Structure 1
Amino acid sequence: MKPRRGDLPRGRGWARGSFGDLVMGARFAVTGGREGWVRMTLTAVGVGLGVALLLLTTALPNVFAARHRVEEARYDYTFSSTTRPKADDTVLVAATDTQWHSKDVRGRLLEPEGPRAPLPPGVGRFPAKGEMVVSPALRDLLASDGARLLRKRLPHRVVGTIGESGLIGSHELAYYAGAEGLDPDAGGGVRVDRLAHFGDPHPTVEKADPVLLLMVLVVFVVLLMPVAVFIAAAVRFGGERRDRRLAALRLVGSDSGMTRRIAAGEALAGALLGLAVGTVFFLIGRQVAGSVQVLGESVFPSYLDPSPALVALVAVAVPASAVLVTLLAMRGVVVEPLGVVRTARPARRRLWWRLLLPLAGLALLYPMVGKGRDSGGFNQYLVTGGVLLLLVGVTALLPWIVERVVARLGAGPVSWQLAVRRLQLSSGTAARMVNGIAVAVAGAIALQMLFAGVESQYTKDTGRDPNRASMEITLPDHRDVAAAGEAFRKTEGVRVAMALSTASVGEKRTEPESLVDLTVGDCAALREVARLPSCRDGDVFRLRNPHYDASYNDSIGSVVRPERQLYVDPSYSDEPGLEVPWRVPAGLKQASYREDALQNAANGLLLTPSALPAKARTVLHGHVFVRIDESVPDAQEYVRNTAARVEPAADVFTWTATEESTKYTSLRTGLFVGAVCVLALIGASLLVSQLEQLRERRKLLSSLVAFGTRRRTLGLSVLWQTAVPIVLGLLLSSVVGLTLGAVLLKMTATPVSVDWASVLSMTGVGAAVVLAVTLLSLPPLLRLMRPDGLRTE
């Protein structure tokens, strides 16, 4: 028989029929009355929260790229051994960075040398001397009541603001001030550069650190996995009422396949609405991001522009996952014309395939065990796949564990029995609610172990003892270091201030074969560097530092001999010097090195001020070491104010025993920021899920109240229903997190150690989020526990 004209091929007909079923399901979701809209709204909010975080994540590469572009554009370092000649298109730039209560303030002094001098990004015109242009955040800070000391430190008149193109974040504190008389040849650790343009002329690409790249991959997977879990759970909101409604469709003639596709269509409608809601949430969050600061980091809204390709991926993946999750969930439900066969005892969950997931993840990670930093990069696909499978294993194992445990729970108070029976009837629903928490905690424990294990590799000892000096101030050349030391001694909050200067001497006026370090200070200051037999002004000491190479110490002995003629600041072919002659005195004394010296690199000669020729004082590099009184509020700010008054270009920094790699610190900060966002999503999604569960049980709760059940009993039963799965989920996540953390440490060739305080804190945070959600759900629960909830139409 020939097909009729209007007939379609079987494949096309099936496709059109399936599409029609999806459309019908979407129509039921939209036109399902108040119940349908409530269910769809809950789904849209749950999916929307996840989509908003996914869009935020897709925008992160652009955030990093935008910040890097700004850093490159305003780059003002030269690191050249020769100074560019003065011209009408050059500008002198001096770094005057400072701090305000642990917040960095980026500062620059500008002195244009001609009408064509380049402007830094974000600045419309050069400020004159006594004027400055500031970032909006610094402008607001200076105008606040608590910034009196900062206003004294920056006494310039504000004449404008720095534009977005010159700032790496909306809350960055930065300024450009006008100056006169800057010297590009000044030394002493203070940088003054002559530039013909801003920006890095020779950007270099650093060799990637395999361990840092591994950490970046794991951070992204760990932060995004809970989002995917919550989206998958959100599309199943209202599942019980939906299945009862599908039973009515079976009664009017639909088959089982059609009912599954109609259910998928309802989920698809909620997911599409969730995409729209998530986009709105993201746009709102994008605008809010410009006005907030998290852990010292901020961005401009324009930085949060997701990649179009990644946005398209999210737009396709979320609805597709909604359909897939619904079809998979419907496989365990038999929808018949006379009801839904789900309240009968379900088949016991199988364990073997659930164990395959984490085992497969370990198998993917195993080939990289012991690779470390020196064996090339880690395979990003194996890392991503292995971590994903381990975390997905949490979501697969948790329902089986909850089912087995609650099946053995028995007698107890009425609230306990109500909770246990509910868990026994719907253990899968209870596990879905806490899956996201379990995944997030497992990933957090693994990351904590990894970060704690490799921290020592990115932390170095500075060699400074904060108990010996609180702060150090580096002064330019040609400054009266003794007068600067006296100014700091008179500063409020300063207990002790020691002024030391350094230079070098050689045995020849030009091109000496050996250079010897020279340190100048009064007797009290020199005693902070070495142990002196006796000291008075005019004395000279020779010091041998045992941490230096023996051959270098031997050369000091051969160069520094009594009555020998030496030269302070000798000349070299590429660098002229002052070449000041100085004769070693006959009464040269011997000093012994002290391990806790203020200058741990001190070696060679120690001189009191009058032992040095007056002419040589102009080449000294000045340093003032300060010990502050911690009981004085804002003592550090007083010190910084004095430094700005003595020399605006002085470099002030606080002594710390250790310092961390900036890349490692930035990654850890990014992890904390991401963890805050994920925890917020977890809390909001759990609350939505809890409200949906309570709405499903409204009539049951009303019936129990009508029969005389106390509200306190019902409230406790809801708490037990949440507490039991979360305890099991946290135990499972601890095991998986410790396993993943140990494997990651083995991959980085780092000894495995467990920071139990971090493990307990992560599980505690997860439990706190669930407890907060439970408390927030109590008011709606009390409203639902009314006899009038039995009304129906």
Structure 2
Amino acid sequence: MSKLRTWGRDFAMGARFAFGGGREGWTRTLLTGLGVGIGVALLLITTSLPNAFAARDARGDARGLYNAQNLPQPGPDTLLVASANQTYHGKDIGGVLVRAEGPRAPVPPGLKTLPAPGEIAVSPALKRLLESGEGRLLRERLDGKITQIIGDAGLIGPHELYFYTGYDLSKDGGGAFDSYRIKRIDHYAIEVEEPSSDPVLLLLVLMTLLALLLPVAVFIAAAVRFGGERRDRRLAALRLVGADGRMVRRIAAGEALAGALTGLAMGAGLFFLGREVVGNMDLRQRSFFPHDLTPNPALAALVAALVPTAAVLVTVFALRGVVIEPLGVVRTAKQSRRRVWWRLLMPAAGAGLLFPMLGQGRENGSFNQWQVSAGVVLLLVGTTALLPWLLERLVRGLSGGPVSWQLAVRRLQVNSGTAARLVSGVAVAVAGAIALQMLFVGSRGDFIEDTGYDLTRATAVVLTEKGALADDLARKLEASPGVRRAVALRGTQASHRAGGNGDDLLSVTIGSCAALKEIASIDSCKDGDAFMVAGGTDMPGAKAGEKLFAGNVLQREPGGPPPVSLTVPANLRTVHGGTTPTGGTSSGLLLTPSAAPAGFNGYEHASIDVLADTADPDAMEHVRTAVFKADVFAHAMSLRETRTDSSYASVQTGLYFGAAGVLALIGTSLLVSRLEQLRERRKLLAALVAFGTRRSTLTLSELWQSVLPIAVGLLLAAAAGTGLGLLLLGMTGYPVRVDWTPVLTMTGIGAAVVTVVTLLSLPPLLRVMRPDGLRTE
């Protein structure tokens, strides 16, 4: 018989034992399949993320207007569009105003027809929000008649809040600058130029993927070894009927292969269920359609090939130190001490790969992704290699104590490898999370910056190009619920001559005395006064009685309105400038309303500083509604102490998505592992109870068997994660220091997951201690 046929026969026999070996065999196979399947499902979801993000981006580009070419003339196939994005209770709502200029005007993706003025097309999520009690104030703002629901092709995610509304964009409405916000297009699917990637941001993305995928790989490797002790005892029976050592190892590999293939099938099923769950998730307004989560065929094939191969290799490697004889398994003999030298090679090699990139930062280009990946993998996997040795050295010298403690310690002294395997996945996850969080905290200053806004003076700023509306709008805002104060300032430009080249432009600010005192040091003021801010800018000055031109002073638009004549009042006084709530510096000419011309032919903008009650969540919504009703192009900007880079925020969101999945995997896999351990030890525990051992003693013993390995694993993970975090900070050029907050937080989360799993395993533990646990087949 050829060697290939021999291997095939032995593997097939192992598969028959897996599925036809009675309840013992198929129970172990199902548990192995479940453990592997959970990991495979998460791997498939992870390999689907690039396609999912690409699909989101493609739909966003298909409706995007950012790079749209503004056509000069209307035609039968042109469409006027303008952005009308909104915010409601912290949620971003995308919006577009549309007006067809001809019968063949392009229709946005996801719509059948263009909404007419007064009509609105909304996404399903926005429709649900508008119809709910939570959307009461939003209905006052978006009060158009809903005539269409935007289809999937027009949305980047199922939970996106988005709308199109018909609006007569041909009207000027008093804002000469509104034309810059309105674009004339004849097609969608506008190409968007991708910005250059930040090396530090790419490193964050790479670290996020590694920190999420490595624990999955470790758990899959541990899952294929479920029920190893019982399997080895069954193999001893095969030796009794004539099988040699190599044959039983091939049979064991075939049994593991069957469990891994079962896991692949279960993983595929869990993946299809999981992507439906992911499709219903909305994390920080990021969501995917289930059909977006389609794995890359090459990556899916790689997962399908690697998982069974890993199962065989892990099984063969696990049996290297086991002697299976016809009368039993020689596993309980005195074991040789684990050697540490080769376990230190992996983290040392990983550090060696990362050290050359220390101090590289952004100045020396992108990091070598393969070198970073290899270094991080070696460091984190080296943690799992060190854990069994460290646990063995710890329990070897322990003795004495209560009976429960002695039982737990003795069990770990006899076989600490199983406990170490269960903890290794948690250790890798915690170590990777600590390093990643240290990098996030270290890079925070580059991606999250302080705005310098003075929130004691204003919590929001309303910007509008229709300065004529400013005073009336400020009064309406001040009368809105939750608004304490609204201060309006209008602004324009002035020059000593009309149609100049702009080298003598002077800013002009118009506001009430109370408003001007907010931005300048003015002792006394009455309507009709004028002030000139002294110093601080390179703008030209103005003198009392001097004639200026204001408004459209550059006259660069053919047929535009002429500038307005402005005579500087004779009572002009010089004052020192101040700052606005947003950190700007006042300059130029300050005029009270009576000292300024009646209007500037539309060339006048305004800002309204709004101080609202931050304890009232509806206060800002009343402000935004009033602003939208007055001017759809006006922008009500909430002021915050910090500003976060959008790409950085997206990476954080991806981390939250992945971390949730990995935590679910960790908890489920640990629970399955604990159930498998209890199943193997059912007869032993039942026998101890039958001989008079207290249930409480055995329960505490099982708890100690969980606590000791977890404590060692978390300490090792904290040390490894901190070391890796310091290396990453050194690579990116950030200050190398230990921030204990992420270290303690991630370690605490790992401990919490294990604690929950231990508590969930207590009812099965009490069940296996019953006398019927002695029953055998």
Partner of 2:312: 323
3-state DSSP of counterpart to 1:267: helix
Alignment partner of 1:132 is 2:133? no
Q: CA deviation digits over 1:538-576, x for unaligned, max 9? A: 222112463x5xxx1xx423xx22222221121244675
Structure-1 separation of matches of 2:188 and 2:573: 51
Within 5 Å, which residues of 2 pair with 1:679-718? 679-718=663-702
Partner of 1:155: 143
Structure-2 separation of matches of 1:332 and 1:525: 83
User: In the TM superposition, what is the alpha-carbon distance from 1:54 to its structure 2 partner?
Assistant: 0.2
Out of 83, 88, 110, the position equivalent to 1:95 is 83
Structure-2 separation of matches of 1:189 and 1:521: 26
Structure-1 separation of matches of 2:96 and 2:359: 46
3-state DSSP of counterpart to 1:619: coil
3-state DSSP of counterpart to 1:35: helix
Contact 1:394-1:736 at 8 Å conserved across structures = yes
3-state DSSP of counterpart to 2:329: strand
Partner of 1:5: none
3-state DSSP of counterpart to 1:485: helix
Partner of 1:4: none
Q: Which residue identity does 1:396 align to in structure 2?
A: A
Out of 305, 314, 326, the position equivalent to 2:294 is 305
User: In the TM superposition, what is the alpha-carbon distance from 1:183 to its structure 2 partner?
Assistant: 4.8
Out of 185, 191, 211, the position equivalent to 1:195 is 185
Contact 2:71-2:185 at 8 Å conserved across structures = no
Partner of 1:565: 547
Partner of 2:448: 459
Partner of 1:166: 154
Partner of 1:590: 574
Q: Once structures 1 and 2 are overlaid, which stretch shifts more, 528-537 or 47-56? A: 528-537
Q: CA deviation digits over 1:137-182, x for unaligned, max 9? A: 1111111122211111111111111111111111111111111244
Out of 320, 331, 340, the position equivalent to 1:351 is 340
Alignment partner of 1:725 is 2:713? no
Q: CA deviation digits over 1:708-755, x for unaligned, max 9? A: 112111111111110000000000001100100000000001101222
User: Gapped runs of 5+ residues in structure 1?
Assistant: 1-7
Out of 627, 630, 634, the position equivalent to 1:646 is 630
Out of 747, 759, 772, the position equivalent to 1:788 is 772
In structure 2, relative to structure 1, the CA distance for the partners of 1:340 and 1:742 (3 Å cut) is same
Q: Which residue identity does 2:210 align to in structure 1?
A: V
Structure-1 separation of matches of 2:563 and 2:67: 27
3-state DSSP of counterpart to 1:616: coil
Out of 380, 398, 402, the position equivalent to 2:369 is 380
Q: Once structures 1 and 2 are overlaid, which stretch shifts more, 414-423 or 632-641? A: 632-641
Number of residue pairs aligned between Structure 1 and Structure 2: 772
Q: Once structures 1 and 2 are overlaid, which stretch shifts more, 596-605 or 244-253? A: 596-605
3-state DSSP of counterpart to 2:353: helix
TM-score with structure 1 length normalisation? Answer: 0.95
In structure 2, relative to structure 1, the CA distance for the partners of 1:166 and 1:365 (3 Å cut) is same
Partner of 1:744: 728
Structure-2 separation of matches of 1:299 and 1:597: 39
Q: Once structures 1 and 2 are overlaid, which stretch shifts more, 109-118 or 237-246? A: 109-118
3-state DSSP of counterpart to 2:256: helix
Structure-2 separation of matches of 1:102 and 1:758: 26
Partner of 2:596: 612
Contact 2:427-2:713 at 8 Å conserved across structures = yes
Partner of 1:3: none
Partner of 2:237: 248
Partner of 2:6: 17
3-state DSSP of counterpart to 2:441: helix
User: Gapped runs of 5+ residues in structure 2?
Assistant: none
Structure-1 separation of matches of 2:66 and 2:586: 28
Partner of 1:68: 57
Q: Which residue identity does 2:543 align to in structure 1?
A: R
Contact 1:247-1:336 at 8 Å conserved across structures = yes
User: In the TM superposition, what is the alpha-carbon distance from 1:672 to its structure 2 partner?
Assistant: 1.4
Structure-2 separation of matches of 1:285 and 1:79: 38
Within 5 Å, which residues of 2 pair with 1:386-401? 386-401=375-390
3-state DSSP of counterpart to 2:599: helix
Q: Which residue identity does 2:444 align to in structure 1?
A: E
Contact 1:94-1:182 at 8 Å conserved across structures = no
Partner of 2:103: 115
Alignment partner of 1:664 is 2:648? yes
Q: CA deviation digits over 1:354-405, x for unaligned, max 9? A: 0000000000111111111010111111100000000001110000001010
User: In the TM superposition, what is the alpha-carbon distance from 1:772 to its structure 2 partner?
Assistant: 0.2
Structure-2 separation of matches of 1:278 and 1:597: 55
Q: Once structures 1 and 2 are overlaid, which stretch shifts more, 287-296 or 176-185? A: 176-185
Contact 2:176-2:603 at 8 Å conserved across structures = no
User: In the TM superposition, what is the alpha-carbon distance from 1:785 to its structure 2 partner?
Assistant: 0.8
User: In the TM superposition, what is the alpha-carbon distance from 1:427 to its structure 2 partner?
Assistant: 0.3
Structure-2 separation of matches of 1:772 and 1:189: 60
Structure-1 separation of matches of 2:530 and 2:642: 33
Q: Once structures 1 and 2 are overlaid, which stretch shifts more, 570-579 or 462-471? A: 570-579
Out of 275, 281, 295, the position equivalent to 2:270 is 281
Partner of 1:45: 34
3-state DSSP of counterpart to 1:480: helix
Structure-1 separation of matches of 2:692 and 2:451: 70
Question: Share of identical aligned residues, percent?
Answer: 53
Q: Once structures 1 and 2 are overlaid, which stretch shifts more, 116-125 or 596-605? A: 596-605
Contact 1:505-1:516 at 8 Å conserved across structures = yes
Structure-2 separation of matches of 1:707 and 1:414: 15
Q: Which residue identity does 1:209 align to in structure 2?
A: D
Out of 422, 447, 458, the position equivalent to 2:436 is 447
Q: Once structures 1 and 2 are overlaid, which stretch shifts more, 65-74 or 385-394? A: 65-74
Q: Which residue identity does 2:544 align to in structure 1?
A: P
Q: CA deviation digits over 1:755-780, x for unaligned, max 9? A: 21221111000000000000101111
Contact 2:63-2:108 at 8 Å conserved across structures = yes
In structure 2, relative to structure 1, the CA distance for the partners of 1:545 and 1:772 (3 Å cut) is farther
TM-score with structure 2 length normalisation? Answer: 0.97
Structure-1 separation of matches of 2:583 and 2:589: 13
Q: Which residue identity does 2:699 align to in structure 1?
A: G
In structure 2, relative to structure 1, the CA distance for the partners of 1:391 and 1:769 (3 Å cut) is same
3-state DSSP of counterpart to 2:3: helix
Q: Which residue identity does 1:741 align to in structure 2?
A: G
User: In the TM superposition, what is the alpha-carbon distance from 1:26 to its structure 2 partner?
Assistant: 1.1
* Root-mean-square deviation over aligned CA pairs: 1.7
Alignment partner of 1:360 is 2:343? no
Alignment partner of 1:631 is 2:621? no
In structure 2, relative to structure 1, the CA distance for the partners of 1:681 and 1:578 (3 Å cut) is farther
Q: Once structures 1 and 2 are overlaid, which stretch shifts more, 141-150 or 677-686? A: 141-150
Structure-1 separation of matches of 2:764 and 2:772: 15
User: In the TM superposition, what is the alpha-carbon distance from 1:601 to its structure 2 partner?
Assistant: 3.8
User: In the TM superposition, what is the alpha-carbon distance from 1:70 to its structure 2 partner?
Assistant: 1.4
Partner of 2:321: 332
Structure-2 separation of matches of 1:402 and 1:597: 59
User: In the TM superposition, what is the alpha-carbon distance from 1:186 to its structure 2 partner?
Assistant: 4.1
Structure-2 separation of matches of 1:189 and 1:131: 22
Q: Which residue identity does 2:775 align to in structure 1?
A: R
3-state DSSP of counterpart to 1:61: helix
Alignment partner of 1:223 is 2:212? yes
User: In the TM superposition, what is the alpha-carbon distance from 1:317 to its structure 2 partner?
Assistant: 0.5
Contact 1:182-1:192 at 8 Å conserved across structures = no
Structure-1 separation of matches of 2:110 and 2:395: 63
User: In the TM superposition, what is the alpha-carbon distance from 1:83 to its structure 2 partner?
Assistant: 6.3
